Amino acid sequence: MLSLPNIRVVGLTGMSGAGKSTVSGVFGEHSYDIVDCDGICREIAGREDFLREVAEKISPRLVTTEGKLDRKLTAQLIFGDAQMRERYNRLIYPYVTYEIIERIKRAERVLLDAPTLFEARLEGICTHIAAVVADSELCVKRIALRDGITEEAARARLSAQHSADFFRENCGFCIENNSSQEHLIKATKEIIKQLETQ
């Protein structure tokens, strides 16, 4: 995996609906450059070269007549079919990884906000990894409210991701976010404080 000397890269991952956006915001307030993987994915999903590959290698139905990614249909396919999700991820991850590394090179310390950090095999470029987890049903309610989808759809989305135990076992820092936002912010600041001593 690519080495990025003298650049602190904190990978942030965890369960959907657990509170990663709040954690990311706190890191940003403490002078970390935020590299938002979801934002990069959205950018790439609008690129002609990527859309051409999607149409050729997965399905032309995923690209609208206006030449844009049909996000709703794509979400249905990748969250409902593990094989389809794997094919889509294999297509987009090389684009995402290239863009992430280019952005990291321009910084000194980075928070890599990457919900699919392990799936994209980006853990190797991180000097530290932090995760946010929460009770599954609490995450379901948060996802449904945030994204305006049913709890059933939110549960399907969550089931396509790693479990809380996976993150507890594979991340150096793990925040349990089952209470207040104040607790989440306090726990994040404690991690930042610990990082300053390393």
The residues, any chain, with a CB within 8 Å of residue 148's CB and separated by 6 or more, are: none
Domain count, the chain: 1
Is the predicted pLDDT of residue 82 greater than 90, yes or no? no
- Residue 5's pLDDT is 64
Task: State the pLDDT confidence band at 109, using cuts at 50, 70 and 90.
Answer: very high
Mean pLDDT of the chain: 92
1 within a domain of the structure (yes/no)? no
Domain range for 166? 8-196
197 SS3 class = coil
2 within a domain of the structure (yes/no)? no
For the stretch 18-60, pLDDT in tens is 999 999 999 999 999 999 999 999 999 999 999 999 999 999 9
Is the predicted pLDDT of residue 1 greater than 50, yes or no? no
Q: Which residues of 30-45 are buried (b: 16+ CB within 10 A; e: fewer)?
A: eebbbbbbeebbeebb
Q: What are the structure tokens assigned to 129, written together? A: 């990894």
For the stretch 139-189, pLDDT in tens is 999 999 999 999 999 998 898 899 999 999 999 999 999 999 999 999 999
pTM of the full structure:
0.86
3 within a domain of the structure (yes/no)? no
CATH code for the domain in which residue 72 is found: 3.40.50.300
53 within a domain of the structure (yes/no)? yes
Residue range 124-132: mean pLDDT, rounded: 96
- Residue 4's pLDDT is 63
Terminal-residue alpha carbon distance, the chain: 22
Angle (CA) 90 92 93, round 5°: 70
